[in-house]
């Protein structure tokens, strides 16, 4: 099932990029949990909570773009290295950095998404590091 899980995550990124919330909603559980380790350990619930967390994360930036660059099949989880870039809204200064997303599933739908600023933390969360 893990190859299928990678494909679900790819479709979720595409739906998000296209702004197709109906398609995205079909790929996640109703009780989706989104955890952001840095900077505050914030947790949100449901797709609406994910969108609120994303809006908060991108506040003060323009041209924010998350680009999934590497997908790792971790058995029952999927690890994705995501390159995020943006410009400061006031300054126009460009920024870019990598983040790691770990997806967990219930059936064929995403039930949890955890976001890490440090690869070692994401590897541990994905069960790829002891």
Q: Which domains does the chain have, with CATH numbers?
A: 2-125 (3.10.450.50)
pLDDT of 130 reads 56
Question: Mean pLDDT per segment of 10 residues, for the chain of length 130 residues?
Answer: 89 96 97 95 95 93 96 94 96 96 97 97 89
Residue 103: φ, ψ to 5°: -110, 135
Say if strands 61-74 and 94-106 run parallel, antiparallel, or are unpaired.
unpaired
Question: Please, what's the b/e burial string for 11-22 (b: 16 or more CB within 10 A of its CB; e: otherwise)?
Answer: bbbebbeeeeee
Quote the pLDDT of residue 6. Answer: 97
- Residue 129 is predicted with a pLDDT of 78
- Give the Cα-Cα-Cα angle 118, 88, 116 (nearest 5 degrees): 15
């Amino acid at each position: 099932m893990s190859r299928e899980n990678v494909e679900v995550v790819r479709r979720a990124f595409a739906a998000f990029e296209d702004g197709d919330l109906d398609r995205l909603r079909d790929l996640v559980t109703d009780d989706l949990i989104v955890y952001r380790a840095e900077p505050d350990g914030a947790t949100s619930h449901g797709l609406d909570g994910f969108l609120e967390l994303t809006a908060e994360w991108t506040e003060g930036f323009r041209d924010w773009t998350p680009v999934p660059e590497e997908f790792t099949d971790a058995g029952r989880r999927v690890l994705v290295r995501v390159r995020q870039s943006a410009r400061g809204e006031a300054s126009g200064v460009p920024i870019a950095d990598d983040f790691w997303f770990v997806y967990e599933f219930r059936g064929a739908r995403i039930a949890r998404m955890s976001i890490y600023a440090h690869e070692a933390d994401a590897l541990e969360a994905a069960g790829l590091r002891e």
